[in-house]
């Protein structure tokens, strides 16, 4: 049994990256798997690697697609756990109380506008760790990325679908209730995006 050297492991990692496996955490798991298989084989490492990829590359790429789907499911799960924390359960009620108080000084449309601005700011905050990891670190993490492009994308679609109706229901108060919920979800996504990126950054720095 011959151990795979660090340079050989890096070679495997680069090959997988060039094959389209972009998420570093998934790629590390696959590289570990390939390395463990090659360590059990005698002969030249690079020839064994070439033969392994000839026979198993399609299988690896199929596994990558399944891993990405699992990452999306896990992203919804971690956002859901964040939303179940006490302060997020209380947040919609706190927002509604603040809006009810603000109604003494502003009309419903102004309150709706402020809530939409708050939603937009939180949505942009949720994108920042994703953009930072790609632009500056040149790394993408599966669950951390999927927090933005799975729950985040769904929230974006829901918000944009409701925009034409804001201010038209029950003198705007139903819109305020819906926006309070959307702001809460946006805050949960933003916090989850930061915590997941920090977790993966510490693990794969």
pLDDT score recorded for residue 169:
53
Quickly state the pLDDT bin for 11 (edges 50, 70, 90): very high
DSSP string, the chain: --PPPHHHHHHHHHHHHHTT--BHHHHHHHHHHHHHHHHT--S-HHHHHHHHHHHHHHHHHHHHHHHHHHHHHHHHHHHHHHHTSHHHHHHHHHHHHHHHHHTTTS-HHHHHHHHHHHHHHHHHHHHHHHHHHHHTS--B-HHHHHHIIIIIHHHHHHHHHHGGGTT-SGGGHHHHHHHHHHHHHHHHHHHHHHHHHHHHHHH--
Give Cα 120 distance to the centre of its chain: 17
Quickly state the pLDDT bin for 108 (edges 50, 70, 90): confident
Quickly state the pLDDT bin for 81 (edges 50, 70, 90): very high
pLDDT score recorded for residue 78:
92
How much is the average pLDDT of 139-149? 81
Residue 90 predicted with pLDDT over 80: yes
Residue 134 predicted with pLDDT over 90: no
How far, in Å, CA of 202 to CA of 66, rounded?
A: 25
Handedness of CA 101, 104, 106, 109 (dihedral sign): positive
How much is the average pLDDT of 144-148? 81
Mean of per-residue pLDDT scores for the chain: 86
Residue 117 predicted with pLDDT over 80: yes
Quickly state the pLDDT bin for 165 (edges 50, 70, 90): low
Over the stretch 27-69, which tens digit does the pLDDT of each residue have? 998 999 999 999 888 888 999 999 999 999 999 988 888 888 8
How much is the average pLDDT of 179-195? 91
Give this prediction's pTM.
0.81
pLDDT score recorded for residue 171:
58
pLDDT score recorded for residue 91:
94
Residue 137 predicted with pLDDT over 80: no
């Amino acid at each position: 049994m011959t151990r795979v050297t660090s340079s050989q492991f890096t070679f495997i990692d680069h090959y997988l990256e060039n094959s389209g496996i972009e998420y570093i955490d998934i790629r590390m798991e696959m590289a570990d798997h390939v390395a463990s298989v090659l360590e059990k084989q005698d002969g030249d490492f690079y020839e064994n690697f070439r033969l392994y990829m000839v026979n198993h590359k399609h299988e690896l790429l199929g596994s990558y697609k399944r891993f990405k789907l699992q990452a999306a499911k896990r992203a919804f799960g971690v956002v859901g756990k964040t939303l179940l924390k006490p302060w997020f359960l209380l947040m919609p009620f706190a927002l509604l109380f603040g809006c009810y108080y603000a109604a003494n000084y502003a009309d419903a449309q102004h309150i709706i506008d402020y809530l939409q601005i708050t939603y937009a700011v939180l949505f942009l905050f949720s994108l920042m760790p994703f953009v930072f990891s790609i632009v500056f670190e040149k790394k993408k993490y599966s669950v951390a990325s999927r927090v933005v492009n799975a729950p985040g994308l769904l929230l974006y679609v829901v918000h944009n679908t409701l925009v034409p109706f804001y201010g038209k229901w029950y003198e705007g108060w139903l819109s305020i209730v819906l926006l309070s919920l959307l702001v809460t979800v946006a805050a949960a996504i933003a916090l989850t995006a930061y915590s997941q990126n920090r977790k993966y950054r510490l693990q794969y720095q």
